[in-house]
């Protein structure tokens, strides 16, 4: 393992901060030279929260006195995507939790399929006209983000296009990232915003009624 800059910048799976990771535990070089594995695991420490972060590297070369690793690595734990799930209908919540879990594990096409199921369940929950309303929210999101129609087409197909023989476009990491933000925004507009607002109004009404009640009883 070469001594040149061993530190890595990464989104920490524990604290969520983009932090420097400092090597904490590295494999024994003599043992690697002896056993010549194809991959090795290293433990880094997050500079922000001190948690241990596990990374796996592919071995580039092992000679009698030297171990060289590729610079890219696999994160064994990815930061979890968060969402205020409690505002979603029960069925949609269950499916969307699994969708985000697929995303966090880098399974982008499984993520796309689960997004489709989550969206379908949300349209049912929204009732008549719900799908059209959701579609309009997504168009607004596309406009705000300034995403061109070609890049956006797969997202629309996945969420809205009905098909007997399902053919879903394959997504790469970038497209999956766009789908993630579009889904969050769509669910936020359709459920979270309404839920938060009606909760807040209910609380206000309660306090108004309370104070009216107190006035009435003290009069
Ligand atoms: Zn951290």
Residue pLDDT, tens place only, 24-58: 999 999 999 999 999 999 999 999 999 999 999 99
The rounded Å distance from CA 102 to ligand 1 centre is 22
- Looking at residue 219, what is its pLDDT? 53
The rounded Å distance from CA 34 to ligand 1 centre is 34
With beta carbons less than 8 A apart as the criterion, state whether 45 and 7 touch.
no
Task: Measure the CA–CA gap between 180 and 111, rounded to whole angstroms.
Answer: 9
The rounded Å distance from CA 55 to ligand 1 centre is 14
Of 147, 143, 175, nearest to 159 (Cα)?
Answer: 175
Q: How confident is the model at residue 164 (pLDDT cuts 50, 70, 90)?
A: low
Residue with tokens 């043992």: 31
The rounded Å distance from CA 52 to ligand 1 centre is 8
Task: Measure the CA–CA gap between 131 and 154, rounded to whole angstroms.
Answer: 17
User: Between β-strands 52-63 and 8-11, what pairing exists: parallel, antiparallel or unpaired?
Assistant: unpaired
pTM summary value: 0.69
Task: Measure the CA–CA gap between 118 and 113, rounded to whole angstroms.
Answer: 9
Of 3, 5, 19, 83, nearest to 51 (Cα)?
Answer: 19
With beta carbons less than 8 A apart as the criterion, state whether 49 and 79 touch.
no
The rounded Å distance from CA 53 to ligand 1 centre is 8
Residue pLDDT, tens place only, 87-146: 999 999 999 999 999 998 889 999 999 999 999 999 999 999 999 999 999 999 999 989
Task: Measure the CA–CA gap between 112 and 76, rounded to whole angstroms.
Answer: 21
- Looking at residue 3, what is its pLDDT? 46
The rounded Å distance from CA 45 to ligand 1 centre is 8
Domain ranges of the chain: 8-75, 85-212
């Amino acid at each position: 393992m070469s001594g040149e800059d061993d530190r890595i910048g990464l989104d920490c799976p524990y604290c969520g901060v983009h932090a420097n990771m400092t090597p904490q535990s590295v494999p024994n070089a003599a043992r690697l030279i002896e056993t010549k594995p194809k991959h090795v695991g290293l433990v880094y420490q997050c500079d922000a929260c001190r948690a241990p972060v596990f990374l796996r590297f592919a071995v580039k070369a092992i000679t009698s006195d030297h171990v060289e690793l590729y610079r890219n690595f696999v994160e064994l734990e990815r930061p979890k995507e968060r969402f205020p799930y409690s505002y979603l209908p029960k069925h949609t919540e269950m499916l969307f939790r699994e969708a985000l879990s697929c995303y966090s594990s880098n399974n982008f096409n499984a993520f796309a399929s689960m997004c489709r199921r989550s969206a379908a369940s949300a349209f049912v929950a929204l009732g008549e006209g719900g799908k059209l309303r959701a579609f309009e929210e997504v168009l607004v999101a596309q406009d705000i983000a300034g995403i061109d129609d070609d890049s956006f087409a797969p997202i629309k197909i996945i969420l809205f296009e009905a098909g007997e023989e399902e053919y879903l476009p394959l997504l790469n990491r970038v497209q999956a990232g766009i789908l993630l933000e579009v889904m969050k925004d769509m669910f936020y507009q359709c459920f979270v915003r309404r839920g938060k607002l009606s909760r807040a109004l209910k609380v206000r009404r309660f306090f108004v009624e309370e104070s009216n009640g107190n006035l009435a009883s003290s009069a």
